[in-house]
Each structure stands twice: as structure tokens, then as C-alpha cells.
Amino acid sequence: MFPVLGSALGYVDTNPAGKVFLINENTSDGSFVYHHLMHNHMRDDSIVCFVGTIQSLQHHCAIQSKHGLNLNTLQDSGKFIYIDAMKIYEENESNTPDLRKIVDTIAINVEKHFVKSIFLVIEDVSIFVSLGSSVADIVNFVRYCKSIIQPSANSSNCVAVLVHVDAENDEEIANLCDYLCDLCHVLVEIRNFSTGHFAHVDGEIAVKHLDDCERKNDFRMHFKLDERNLKLFAPGTSPTIL
């Protein structure tokens, strides 16, 4: 979808092996990052398991169709698995939030296809905070999901998790982000400009390779996103924010 972004994320000639991506969107929409990752993995004949928490399946189908992929067809063929986490969550009869049923559903679906390369996407785990789950429960949920997929240097299985941050003073979300950073290899931060909105630039994207002690592949750019394209600018080169 977006070659420059793919290169920054480690997708050069082939998909990276065994990576966990944490997408931290701060008052901005970072879903284009996991859509790009999904697109790469499905093009590479991997199976994508998508755990939906915010948007409908139709929403994601519409986005991928603009880039040449039909998620309905891929779902029928078994290459795309959609799990409605909110439906599972709401079916819980107890008053205590329980993420284990979502983990069990992921495990059942993934085990059917484990001979294939698997890419797991969790749309937005921060929604579980507002539903009453503790930070510890959510971190354990992601840890269990990671153990199901078993990303490693010897496999092409990968995981992407998104966290949405609305307020800088939200201590629970800040703690959640900190703990999830310890589980990930690549941190992608998407944020708006604190000084306001600009017509030709949407915000800033930073990619941090936490598994690289030298951090030589870290990446920071300004971006503009439209329906089909992502434009990237070196900081300070867009005339609208000089």
C-alpha cells in the first residue's frame, strides 16, 4: 500500500519474521498502519486474523477494497478471519469483564490454520479500559494472544496491537502503553500537531525499532493521508508548517 512506510516498518524484500508491532495513536487515527500491514501479509499469502473492537467489518472491507483486496472473498476462502470481540465481550453473563473468551476464540481459529503464516491484528485494546478491564488484564490478554501466534525469528508470524490515547493525563492508558511497549519489537507513534491543524499535513509518524539496540532504523516523518495515498515529508519541509 505505502512503500516508504513499509520500508520503515521493516518490510523491504519480504515480510519481517516474528515481530510484534504496537501502534500508539495519540488524538489521531493510526488505523492506516495496521491496514498497511494487513495488506502486505495478505499479498504475501499469509492468513490475517483480525480482532475487531471499534469499526465494523464493512468499514475495513471498504478500506482494503480501495487498495485492490476483497476481504469478503478472502474471508470465504479462509485467508481472512474476522473476530467480533465486542460481541464476545457483551455475551459474558457475569458482571466482571472477562477477556479469556476472546483469547479462546482466537486460539480456536488460529489453530485451524497454523501450518500457514499468521498475522494477528487487535484493532484497539484501549476500549477494554472503558469497559472495566484492568490494565493488568489487558496486558495479559495481549501476552496470551502473542503466545498463541508465537512470533519468533524462525517464523513469519506477526502481531499488531493498537492503543488509542485521547488525553495526556489518562494514567491508565499511559500505564497500558508502557507495559505493552515491553512486549513489542516495533513501536509506531501517530500524533497530531499540538499547535493545531494544517491543510496539507495530518500529523507526525515515528517508528522506533525497540529490538535494535543501535536504533539505526528509527524513523520520524510528517504525513498526509488521503483515501488511497500516504505522503511523507521530512520534518520542516512542508511549506504549511515552516
Residue 98 lies in a domain: yes
CB 71 within 8 A of CB 64: yes
CATH number for the domain harbouring residue 40: 3.40.50.300
Q: What is the mean pLDDT of residues 207-224?
A: 84
How high does pLDDT run on average in the chain?
86
Does residue 74 lie in a domain region?
A: yes
- Report if residue 90 sits inside a domain: yes
Asked whether 193 and 208 are in contact (CB, 8 A), the reply is: no
- Residue 228 domain flag: no
Residues 61-78: tens digit of each pLDDT: 999 999 899 999 999 999
Residue 225 lies in a domain: no
The pLDDT of residue 200 is 78
Helix (H, G, I), strand (E, B) or coil at 11: coil
Cβ burial of 239 (10 Å; 0-12, 13-18, 19+) is exposed
- Residue 152 within a domain: yes
- For Cα atoms 139, 122, 203, give the angle at the middle one, nearest 5 degrees: 100
Q: CA-to-CA distance for 33 and 12, rounded, in angstroms? A: 16
**What is the arithmetic mean of pLDDT over 210-230?**
82
CA distance to 95, 96, 143, per residue, from 146 (Å): 26, 23, 5
Alpha carbon distance 55, 225 (integer Å): 19
Task: Compute the distance between CA of residue 125 and CA of residue 197 in angstroms, rounded to an integer.
Answer: 27
User: Percentage helix, strand, coil, to 5, in the chain?
Assistant: 35, 25, 40
Averaged pLDDT for residues 105-115:
85
pTM of the model as a whole: 0.90
Strand partners, 165: 26
Query: Which has the closest alpha carbon to 153: 20, 13, 40, 12?
Result: 20
Residue-range definition of the domain harbouring residue 27: 3-197
Whether 222 is covered by a domain: the verdict is no
* Domains identified in the chain, total number: 1
- Does any domain span residue 182? yes
Q: Return the closest-CA partner of residue 97 out of 125, 122, 120.
A: 125
